Amino acid sequence: MRQLAEMKNSGCVVMLEDNKVEDLARMYKLFKRVTQPTPGLSVIREIMAAHVKTRGTELVQEEEHKGDPVLYVQGLLTLRDKYQQVIEQAFESDKQFINALNQAFEHFINLNQHSPEYISLFVDDQLRKGMKGTSEEEVEQTLDKVVMLFRYLQEKDVFEKYYKQHLAKRLLGGRSVSDDAERSMIAKLKHECGYQFTSKLEGMFIDMKTSADTQEAFKLANGGSSKVDGIELAVHVLTTGFWPTQVGGKCTLPPQIAKCCEVFKDQYLKQHSGRRRARVGLRSRAHGLAAGSTHAPNPQPQPPPPGPDAAPQP
């Protein structure tokens, strides 16, 4: 029976490679009848799992894929889609075959230490530009497939580290194509790993809402304008602990920028007394300067935790 399934030019592997679903379905029904001495389906399942492992190992070790995270993850998704369809169409969605497929993917996806980073970069690419013009259903399908790959990762904390960095850049740079897609991805990760895994990611979204409220309050207090001496002032209010840490350096601001900082500081502290702010750097934009900043509350003896502090973005 195994000899028949492993025939060089017409066996199970050839059928899998050539996607001969009807032939595989006939093989599945035939081998299903065999129960002694070795269950026939276990033979097909072992051959399929070994073949998927071989193809997957080749994919994650291929040099072309190593240099392109998007191509790397797309290759994984394409590979899984292929064999998922084979199992559904030829193997009657047999749960044991699905388990074998999952075990094979978990084996080879962790052979590449960059897999957590690459999966995060793929999501970053999709949420910045890859999902433009796609329907909500298509977005959900893509995110579901990515979460399936995430499920195979053994170092999920490494993925979380990279995902937080990439999410921070999308939020602060206004580069995300959809807040709904961002929140949907976080909800899926939360479902997989629990609240603790996503608490900081969710906190980043809360900070962005606080930033918008703070910006509007400053504008109202400044006579309906966000400008200080002709310089447009934008503010991000970030809570220490939610966002990726940066090593702060000394920065001497031009007098005009320093004045913007003081004007905002005075207005902000009128509304939020007892907080301290920490500006950690500058980043340039196409039309002016923006001060990247983090904001740390003064220690409080009792919960709830204190609110965030702010620094200006002139």
Task: List pLDDT tens digits, range 167-209.
Answer: 999 999 889 988 999 999 999 999 999 999 999 999 999 999 9
Instruction: List CB contacts of 238: < 8 A, sequence separation 6 or more.
Output: 207, 211, 293, 294, 295, 308, 310
Compute the CA torsion angle 122, 123, 129, 133 (nearest 10 deg): 120
Return the pLDDT at 247. Answer: 67
Question: CA–CA separation, 292 vs 60, rounded Å?
Answer: 37
Q: How far is CA 197 from CA 186, 190, 192, 242, in A?
A: 10, 7, 9, 12
pLDDT bucket at 251, cuts 50 / 70 / 90: confident
Question: CA–CA separation, 24 vs 18, rounded Å?
Answer: 10
CA angle centred on 85, ends 79 and 91, rounded to 5°: 120
- What is the token pair recorded at 228? 């200080």
Higher pLDDT, 66 or 299: 66
Return the pLDDT at 260. Answer: 84
pLDDT bucket at 65, cuts 50 / 70 / 90: confident
Return the pLDDT at 1. Answer: 66
Q: What domains can be seen in the chain, in order of their start residue?
A: 1-112 (1.20.1310.10), 114-193 (1.20.1310.10), 210-313 (no CATH)
Inform me whether the pLDDT recorded for 144 exceeds 60.
yes
235 contacts 215 by C-beta, under 8 angstroms: yes
Q: Is the dihedral of CA 183, 185, 186, 188 positive or negative?
A: positive
Task: List pLDDT tens digits, range 258-267.
Answer: 888 888 888 8
- What is the token pair recorded at 192? 């997989």
Q: How far is CA 172 from CA 34, 106, 205, 217, 272, in A?
A: 60, 34, 10, 19, 22
Return the pLDDT at 70. Answer: 94
Residue 239 is given by DSSP the state B
Residue 295 is given by DSSP the state B
Global model pTM greater than 0.85: no
Higher pLDDT, 2 or 35: 35
Task: List pLDDT tens digits, range 199-243.
Answer: 999 999 999 998 888 888 888 888 888 888 888 888 887 888 898
Mean pLDDT across the chain: 83
Task: List pLDDT tens digits, range 67-109.
Answer: 899 999 999 999 999 999 999 999 999 999 999 999 999 999 9
Question: CA–CA separation, 228 vs 264, rounded Å?
Answer: 9
Return the pLDDT at 166. Answer: 95
In 89-247, DSSP assigns E strands to 227-228, 231-232, 234-238
Question: CA–CA separation, 126 vs 220, rounded Å?
Answer: 36
240 contacts 277 by C-beta, under 8 angstroms: no
Task: List pLDDT tens digits, range 20-61.
Answer: 999 999 999 998 998 888 888 999 999 999 999 999 999 999
For residue 260, count other CB atoms closer than 10 A to its CB: 23
Question: CA–CA separation, 306 vs 297, rounded Å?
Answer: 6
Return the pLDDT at 301. Answer: 34
The bridge status of strand 231-232 relative to strand 227-228 is antiparallel
Return the pLDDT at 215. Answer: 85
- What is the token pair recorded at 34? 């065999």
